[in-house]
Structure 1
């Protein structure tokens, strides 16, 4: 299900926080490179970027290559994101 990119990022961050709590560890920094499908949608007079992780990893002539989303979170609160088509 496609959802706003900000919601997807919040869910990833919440998962990291849950791992820390469950495992009793402190993460100082996390970097991820993830495949992601993106869809720009016009909504309320603006453009919203919807995102979802691909359902399958197979690539063929009918399935476009997903974009890659590179994320980095650090303990000092600095965050960086980069999306490539």
Structure 2
């Protein structure tokens, strides 16, 4: 189900917090590269980006290759800066 990209990112972050809670560990940094299906939708006078992981594993000549999202979460430093989305490449 496609949903707003911001909601998808929140769900991924909540999953990482759950891993920490269940596993009794503290993650200092996590990097992910995910295939995503993206669809821009006009809504309320603006454009919203809907996204989800692909439901089908294969691609064919009728289906475009999925986009890839590279992101990283890092533990905040003393200045409070740490959580960020990386536009690609390594931090």
Higher strand share: 1
- Aligned twin of 1:79: 84
- Tell me if 1:42 matches 2:47: no
d(CA) in 2 for partners of 1:15, 1:78: 15
d(CA) in 1 for partners of 2:83, 2:4: 21
> Gaps (5+ residues) in structure 2?
77-81
**TM-score, normalised with respect to structure 1:** 0.92
After TM superposition, give the deviation of residue 79 of structure 1 in Å: 1.0
d(CA) in 2 for partners of 1:72, 1:19: 16
Higher radius of gyration, 1 or 2: 2
CA-to-aligned-CA distance 1:17-73 (integer Å, 9 cap, x gap): 000000000000000000001111110011100001100111111221000000100
d(CA) in 2 for partners of 1:67, 1:82: 13
**Superposition RMSD in Å:** 1.2
**TM-score, normalised with respect to structure 2:** 0.86
SS at match of 1:21: helix
> Gaps (5+ residues) in structure 1?
none
- Aligned twin of 1:14: 14
